[in-house]
Each structure stands twice: as C-alpha cells, then as structure tokens.
Amino acid sequence: MPVGTTSRRPSIHFAVAAAVLATSACAVTPAVASAAPKCSDVEVIFARGTDEPSGIGAVGQAFVDTLRPMVKGSTVGTYAVQYPASWDFLKAAAGATDMSKRAQTTASQCPKTQIVLGGYSQGAAVVDVVATSPVAGLGYNAPLPAAVVPRIASIVVFGNPSARLGQPLTRMSPDFGARTADLCNTNDPICSLGRDFDAHVRYQQSGLIQLGAQWAARHINVRT
C-alpha cells in the first residue's frame, strides 16, 4: 500500500489501467461542465467504482465521513464525479474530464478551498488519468493546467488497477506522488497479484479508509 514518493505522463497510463480492469473480475456493484461550486474549506472530488449507483459510492462516503472529524472547524464538501462507471472501462476517460473540470472550476471560483481528489477501483483509474496526463487523449479532453496543480492538497485512491502492474500513483505522478496515498487491501486482485476478490469490497473493514483519511487530513492541516 504505497503512500507518497515523488512531468505527468501521457494518457497511455489510463489505457494500462483500463486493460487491468478489463481482465480482472471486479466484484463491486458524457462528461459535463461542473456547476458553480459552493465554497467549502475542503472539497473532496471522488469517483465511484464500477456498477456503483450515482454519487461518491460507499467507499467514497466512508472516506468523507472518516475525514470530517479529523479536520474539525473546517467544512468539507463533496463532488461526485459524473461518468458511467460501467463495464466499458474506456468511458472512464469521461470521468477524468469531469474530475479535472471540477477541480479547475473549484480552484478558480473558491481560492481558499483545499481540494482532495479520490477514487475507488475504476474511480481510481479516473484519478490516474488526471494525475498523470498533461495532454488530452483517449477521450480525456481537460488536462489540469499547471497553475491548478498546487491547489490539490492530496490524492487518496483505493483499489487502483495501475498498482497491480507496479505503477501506483506514488510512483507514476511526479507532480502528486508526495501528496498521494495509493492504498490496496491485502490480496485484492484489482490492485495486487492477490486472488481474494472479496478483498476488493472490504475497504471499509480493512482499516485503509482510516489511513487514507489520516493522510488527507495531514496534508490539509499542513496547508491550512
């Protein structure tokens, strides 16, 4: 479960993540411009996993619920990345576009808001694209401008398919690696060479939600 290390790489990184998802049996149940954000002290922009209903998903909600008491005195808003989260994994590029647009909108309209990017499973692959792709490609059409990069306080991903190939965000993103927690449950086959598919749906019981929230809170508090 790599946490932190240290230019973003092209969108081929997303193609690798999509390939891993397509060949792994994931056991979990059109990008648009983001509306004007309500300015909170912290905004968590989170991409849900495959087949989860619209919203930030169960892992995302657990992450936010755990984070809030760790940043007492700060308001924590959420934004659910809009994308299909379907078995057509290449459409995750739409999620990356929406996540990036939301981060850019929040950075522009809420200059004091600290931004946390997060994702679970296919949602983690969405974050991979935003964090590693400085140019458009493969359906991703809203790369983060360099000026927005410092506005991302932290990144936390769970069950990241790229980690299965030894390419966690802590290693693949020079811009964000030192601010990133790339967390993989023991024997989760989506993010490791393990074979316990149940591990992929046990993040709430694994202790990694707590670890991820602590990581984000540490970086938020440092920047407050």
- pTM confidence score: 0.86
pLDDT tens readout for residues 192-203: 999 999 999 999
Element (H, E) at 35: none
Element (H, E) at 116: strand 114-120
Instruction: Retrieve residue 41's tokens.
Output: 């002290």
pLDDT in tens, the chain (224 residues): 555 543 444 444 454 455 445 434 333 333 444 567 789 999 999 999 999 999 999 999 999 999 999 999 999 999 999 999 999 998 899 999 999 999 999 999 999 999 999 999 999 999 999 999 989 988 999 999 999 999 999 999 999 999 999 999 999 888 999 999 999 999 999 999 999 999 999 999 999 999 999 999 999 977 55
Instruction: Retrieve residue 11's tokens.
Output: 């969108």
Catalytic residue of the set 128, 154, 173, 200? 200
Q: Domain of 16? A: 12-22+38-223
Residue 196 catalytic?
no
Catalytic residue of the set 34, 121, 133, 162? 121
Using alpha carbons, select from 182, 156, 179, 178 the residue that is nearest to residue 167.
182
Kindly state whether residue 33 falls inside one of the protein's structural domains. Answer: no
Residue 200 catalytic?
yes
Contact 45, 116 (CB under 8 A): yes
How many residues can be counted in the chain? Answer: 224
Instruction: Retrieve residue 33's tokens.
Output: 């411009």
Kindly state whether residue 6 falls inside one of the protein's structural domains. Answer: no
Catalytic residue of the set 98, 128, 175, 188? 188
Instruction: Retrieve residue 186's tokens.
Output: 């023991």
Kindly state whether residue 69 falls inside one of the protein's structural domains. Answer: yes
Q: Read off the CATH number of the domain in which 67 is found.
A: 3.40.50.1820
Kindly state whether residue 160 falls inside one of the protein's structural domains. Answer: yes
